[in-house]
């Protein structure tokens, strides 16, 4: 699900673990034509916490959205996780996904803002308010910065603006911090999750609509029908200066959903070694 870091080190969440991948090549080195080789160097077994966004704090430690327990957390050497913050309306840390906390924006190396689908303190309560119950919260003050959002995801601070994805409507935009309004910039033909930036471009993850009608009744579905579009899976590239779509990458086959997007700067051809590939036995390097 979540992936966060940079072109040297990044963390990635799986179903029940949090993995750290490290590039083993020095600047200017290559390996069989690859200019980055990412090896899984460390894993924390967290259990199935339904981890969503993952980021790196000012001390180089991972901080993640623990969606099942409705809180922000970090890793623990002896337990599944260590809680670091929870919304004021969550009364206790229990595995019940009450508000569907999902997105995390970092600010000066600390947790800055989070998104949740609802202000709810009952198990699965967020499902009843998907269309307009979403919120953006300032972690430091506990203030609601923006409300009445439809399934908000992926808040990110970039170029003095707080951007986010309103998955329930299909719009990418930013929050006017003075008025608290969500300003729509561009519609994307898929369920939006995953946002990264490079230069004047936003890179947005889009996903197919699930076959279990999870997204039925949302404005997103109505907007697709108006535009005579069908949801698909891939990366949508938007020019921040104009709001225009300038490029896209469409993904077919077994991959039907994306959750997160990470830019690997100054990287042309990366290689990632999985934990189950035979190659991992031979990937030995000396510090």
Q: Which domain holds residue 166?
A: 44-268
Question: What is the domain count for the chain?
Answer: 1
Domain presence at residue 50: yes
Give the residue from 42, 44, 43, 48 showing the smallest Cα distance to 67. 48
For residues 179 and 215, the answer to whether their CB atoms sit within 8 Å is no
Question: Would you state the structure tokens that stand for residue 273, as one six-digit string?
Answer: 């070694």
Half-sphere exposure of 166 (CA within 13 A, CB side): 31
For residues 273 and 40, the answer to whether their CB atoms sit within 8 Å is yes
- 3-class DSSP assignment, residue 278: helix
Mean pLDDT of the chain: 93
The pTM of the full predicted model, rounded to 2 decimals, is: 0.91
Please give the chain's pLDDT, 287 residues, in tens. 999 999 999 999 999 999 999 999 998 899 999 999 999 999 999 999 999 999 999 999 999 999 999 999 999 999 999 999 999 999 999 999 999 999 999 999 999 999 999 999 999 888 888 888 899 999 999 999 999 999 999 999 999 999 999 999 999 999 999 999 999 999 999 999 999 999 999 999 999 877 766 667 788 888 888 888 888 999 999 999 999 999 999 999 999 999 999 999 999 999 999 888 888 888 888 88
Domain presence at residue 14: no
Beta carbons within 8 Å of 77's beta carbon, 6+ residues apart: none
The pLDDT score that the predictor gives to residue 219 is: 83
Give the residue from 40, 44, 24 showing the smallest Cα distance to 32. 24
Integer Cα distance of 145 and 74 in angstroms: 24
Domain presence at residue 34: no
- The domain spanning residue 250 has which CATH number? 2.120.10.30
Question: Would you state the structure tokens that stand for residue 21, as one six-digit string?
Answer: 């991948």
């Amino acid at each position: 699900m979540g992936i966060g870091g940079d072109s040297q080190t990044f963390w990635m969440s799986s179903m029940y673990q949090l993995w750290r991948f490290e590039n083993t090549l020095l600047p200017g080195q290559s390996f069989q034509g690859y200019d980055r080789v990412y090896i899984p160097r460390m894993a924390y077994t967290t259990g199935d916490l339904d981890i969503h966004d993952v980021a790196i704090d000012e001390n180089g430690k991972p901080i993640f959205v623990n969606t099942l327990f409705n809180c922000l957390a970090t890793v623990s050497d002896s337990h599944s996780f260590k809680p670091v913050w929870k919304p004021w309306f969550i009364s206790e840390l229990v595995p019940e996904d009450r508000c569907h906390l999902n997105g995390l924006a970092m600010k000066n190396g600390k947790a800055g803002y989070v998104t949740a689908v609802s202000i709810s303190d009952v198990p699965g309560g967020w499902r009843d308010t998907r269309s307009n119950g979403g919120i953006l919260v300032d972690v430091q003050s506990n203030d609601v910065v923006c409300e009445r959002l439809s399934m908000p995801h992926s808040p990110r601070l970039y170029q003095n603006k707080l951007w986010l994805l309103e998955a329930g409507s299909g719009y990418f935009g930013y929050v006017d911090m003075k008025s608290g309004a969500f300003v729509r910039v561009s519609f994307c033909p898929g369920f939006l999750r995953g946002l990264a930036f490079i230069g004047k471009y936003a890179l947005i993850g889009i996903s197919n609509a699930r076959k279990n009608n999870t997204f039925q009744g949302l404005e997103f579905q109505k907007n697709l029908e108006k535009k005579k579009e069908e949801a698909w899976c891939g990366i949508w590239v938007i020019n921040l200066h104009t709001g225009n779509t300038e490029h896209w990458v469409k993904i077919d086959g077994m991959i039907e959903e994306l959750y997160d997007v990470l830019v690997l700067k100054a990287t042309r051809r990366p290689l990632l070694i999985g934990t189950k590939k035979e190659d991992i036995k031979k990937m030995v390097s000396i510090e």
